[in-house]
Amino acid sequence: MRRRILVIDDEEGVRDAFDLALDANAYEVVTAADGLEGLARAAEATPDLVILDLKMPRLDGVETLRRLRLQCPGIMVYILTAFYEEYLRPLAGLSAEGAEFELVRKPLDADQIRGVIAAALDGTINEAPDPGGQP
C-alpha cells in the first residue's frame, strides 16, 4: 500500500524534488504551495507524513503545524528548514506548547530525500546518505 506524503512548501522546486525522488509505486506524493492549501490536502485524506516548510505566504509553517495538530492529531510532521538559528527561532513557541515535530535539513538531494523518507516512515536504521549541500 502506498504511503501518502504531503509536501507543503512554497518553492515549486522543493515540491518537485520530493515528487521526482520518490518511487511512485511506494509513495503518493501530494503537494501544496502554502499552509492553507496543505490543510485542505490533509483534510482530503490524512497523510502518513507531512514535510512542512516554515516561511510561506498566506499561512506560515508554524501556524500550519498548530492547525494540523488539531486537524490530524498524532500526525508525523517533519519541519523542512535550514539549520540556522534565525530559521529555527519561530519553532520555540511550538516547543513551549508541547507540539511534537522533527527537523529535516533544507536543501536535500534526491538520495537524501529517499533516505529521510524511508527513515521517517519505516523506522529502520539507515546509514544517512552522504551529507552535503550545507556548509
Partner 1 sequence: MTTEYRLQLFVANHPERLKRVLAAIDNALTGRLSTPYDIEVIDVMADPGRAAIERVIMTPTLVIKSPTPERRLIGDLADVDKLCVVLGVRKETGA
Q: For binding to partner 1 (CB under 8 A), which residues are involved? A: 78-79, 83-85, 87-88, 91-92, 94-95, 99-105, 108, 112, 115-116, 118-120, 122-129, 131-132, 134-135
Q: Which is nearer to partner 1, 36 or 72 (CB)?
A: 72
How many Å apart are CA 133 and CA 106, to the nearest integer?
A: 8
Minimum Å distance from CB 86 to partner 1? 9
For the bound state, the minimum distance from the C-beta of residue 101 to partner 1, rounded and expressed in Å, comes to 6
24: cell is: 511512485
Q: Kindly state the smallest distance separating residue 31's Cβ from partner 1, in Å.
A: 20
C-beta separation of 101 from 94 below 8 A: yes
In terms of CB distance, is 13 or 85 closer to partner 1? 85
Task: Look at the chain and count its residues.
Answer: 135
Q: In a 3-state reduction of DSSP, which class is residue 81?
A: strand
Q: Smallest gap, in angstroms, from Cβ of residue 40 to partner 1? A: 26
Supply φ then ψ for residue 50, to 5 degrees. -120, 130
Q: Which one, 56 or 79, has the nearer CB to partner 1? A: 79
Residue 74, φ and ψ in degrees, nearest 5:
85, 0
Q: DSSP characters for 12-25?
A: HHHHHHHHHHS-TT
Nearer to partner 1, 5 or 120 (CB): 120
